[in-house]
Chains A and B, each alone.
Chain A
Amino acid sequence: MNEHTTPEPQPAVQLYPLGDAAVVIEFGKSISPATHERVQAFCNRLEQQPFVGLVEYVPAFTTVTVYYDPWRLRQQAATPYDAVLQQLEQLLRRTSIATEKPAPRVVEIPVCYGGAYGPDLDWLSKHLSLLPEQVIALHAAPQYLVYMIGFAPGFPYLGGLDAQLTAPRKAQPRPLVPAGAVGIAGQQTGVYPLATPGGWQLIGRTPLRLFRPEAEVPSLLQAGDRVRFVPISAAEYQRLQQHEL
């Protein structure tokens, strides 16, 4: 959000249960950078002031889901849910975007586009009536926003793909997409952290490991990060891959 303009009025926060040990805090109904900032600000507040009984939290596009331990909250209010609502409402009152906003981290992801690294680049170029170099330039131009991590360990949901690159999923998903594959599906782009089946159009591959189980923070990307794709040569890919291994 640009701080020099008047912020648009934000919808009221809604809280509702997800069963007997989780509560959803909904900051909006649609994907937007402004809603994302509120989600991030609240997550930062939870990190700074975890309450007794907090188990973990999961940010998504417009929501933060907070998991809690009803046993630890059993004596604090009429029900554990009431107790957790009291805690969350207090935290929500104390959360202000201006003070909770750390400078975003920009992560550069080197990508070798085309050839064996991006087997669908040529098909995609023809489908979009663009030159392969134009597809690469359009894909590597924006600074993407990591809205959430989900689906698989370290898998980022990115916002900011150029509308010109919108492409359908493959009619037949590949039985195995290699880890590091960079693809496009619909209006989304992303990187597969693990080798899995997948139907995205693969335009390149990164030697970076997005999922590092041995690390204290195993996901390279976190919600709120910014991402830039940086084109590299096959030789550079090989060199970096040696380094990553």
Chain B
Amino acid sequence: MSFSILSPGLLTTVQDLGRVGYQKQGIIVSGAMDATALRLANLLVGNPENTAGLELTLLGPKIRFETDQLIALAGADLSPAVDGEPVRMWRPVLVRAGAVLSFGAPRAGSRAYLAIAGGLALPPVLGSRSTYLRAGLGGLQGRALRKGDAVPCAKPNARAAKLMRVLATNADALGRRWAEAAWAPDPALLPRHESSLEIRATTGPEYHLFSAESQGHLWEQEYSLSTESDRMGYRLLGPQLVLENPQELLSSAVTFGTVQVPAGGLPIVLMADHQTTGGYPRIAQIITADLARLAQLPLGGKIRFREVTLAEAQQLYLQHEQQVRALREGIHLKLQHP
């Protein structure tokens, strides 16, 4: 069981929820930029949430399925199509052998996730299949996918196989090589991708070292996402943030969503491929519940930061997790009675 890459798109990598437990050895976490989208894509094809799928960036790849597969797309809307016909996101889709998945113009968001029932049959490296490009670790030979790659897939589980049989009948009746499930999660519960975001954050450990004016800028002014942004960090353009008394700091841990400010004064938000430690002052920390939305912000998109307390951030964390778990329950029920 496998699929072939006919064209690789801008940056298509294998990602799961990350390589956890090795940061003390300098090994980054990596993983999906929008973890919520990957989790939901996996749930829709009956996979455990941490199963590896593909992260597609802005310009999607062209993929031919060599065997029948149950797939789901979540995250950014990159105009997906199967055999040239538009296909809906956020729902299970059966693609039969020979069907070709392609993408068009990005409509909303920056990163889409493709989950395959059963997952990708690639060896985990240090407990994860996530691709860490700089160290050449994980995924498919530690690199982004290329034209001509054949990506092996594992066998779908019984839940997925049952849905595949139902959808195969529908596809045959329609005389085509694909069929969507008739059901999908309530759209009201799914994330919307916008080009102007309010992002909530707590103050960072070095917040108090910044001038009062800079502290004010952070919460009151608008920042935009520089084109020099990638999976490692989002560079922001806007008013400069400066320390009251410039000083050298000792390196310490940094994490996904840490807002660092180098000497130049323009903030950088660390993203999924963030280094494990850093020495720039940490003015703020984006709340976990807002990281998925930030991961989907298009280049040039606008950000306004809003301060929340740690207690609020944790309340929002639990609410977000509760919502994903409620969706999981609903999807499980649907998969049991396709």
Contacts and interface: CB of A to CB of B under 8 A. Distances in A.
A and B physically associate: yes
24 contacts: A18-B255, A18-B285, A20-B285, A20-B310, A21-B288, A22-B255, A30-B250, A55-B20, A55-B21, A56-B21, A57-B24, A67-B23, A70-B288, A70-B317, A71-B318, A80-B314, A80-B317, A150-B275, A150-B276, A151-B276, A151-B277, A153-B27, A153-B135, A196-B134
Which 5 pairs between the two chains have the least Cβ-Cβ distance? A150-B277, A65-B253, A19-B285, A219-B25, A20-B313
Nearest to B277: A150
Given A19-B202, A154-B27, A219-B25, 11 more contacts: A18-B258, A19-B286, A20-B317, A43-B24, A58-B24, A71-B317, A79-B314, A150-B26, A153-B28, A154-B26, A218-B25
Interface string A46-62: 00000000011111111
Interface string A74-87: 10000111000000
B97 to A, nearest CB: 35
B253 A58 contact: yes
Contacts of B67: none
Please report whether the interface of chain B is mostly helix, strand, loop or mixed according to DSSP.
Answer: mixed
B318 A70 contact: yes
Nearest to B254: A18
Interface string B295-330: 000000000000000110111111001000000000
Interface string B74-107: 0000000000000000000000000000000000
A74 B285 CA distance: 20
A213 interface: yes
Contact of A61 (B252, B286, B315): B252
Contacts of A196: 134
A135 B317 CA distance: 54
Contacts of A79: 310-311, 314-315
Contacts of A153: 25-28, 135
A56 B23 contact: yes
B26 A20 contact: no
B314 A70 contact: yes
Interface in A134-151: 148-151
Contacts of B253: 18, 22, 24, 58, 60, 63, 65
Interface of B: 20-28, 125-126, 134-135, 137, 202, 204-205, 250-255, 257-258, 275-277, 282, 285-288, 310-311, 313-318, 321
Given A20-B317, A60-B277, A80-B314, A31 B25 contact: no
A19 B255 contact: yes
Interface string A212-245: 0100011100110000000000000000000000
Using C-beta atoms within 8 Å of the partner chain, give the interface range for chain A: 35 or more
A22 B255 CA distance: 9
A200 to B, nearest CB: 16
A186 to B, nearest CB: 11
Contacts, number: 143
Which of A20, A148, A194 has most B Cβ within 10 Å? A20
A132 B22 CA distance: 38
Contacts of B204: 18
A144 B325 CA distance: 49
Contacts of A152: 26, 134-135, 275
Given A20-B310, A154-B25, A56 B275 contact: no
A157 B252 CA distance: 12
Contacts of B317: 20-21, 70-71, 80
Contacts of A117: none
Contact of A20 (B21, B25, B135, B287): B287
Which of B23, B254, B314 has most A Cβ within 10 Å? B314
B167 to A, nearest CB: 33
Given A16-B205, A19-B288, A213 B125 contact: yes
A160 B321 CA distance: 46
Nearest to A29: B250
B252 A24 contact: yes
Contacts of A218: 22, 25, 27, 126
Contacts of A115: none
Contact of B27 (A31, A60, A81, A219): A219
A38 to B, nearest CB: 15
Contacts of B310: 17, 20, 79, 81
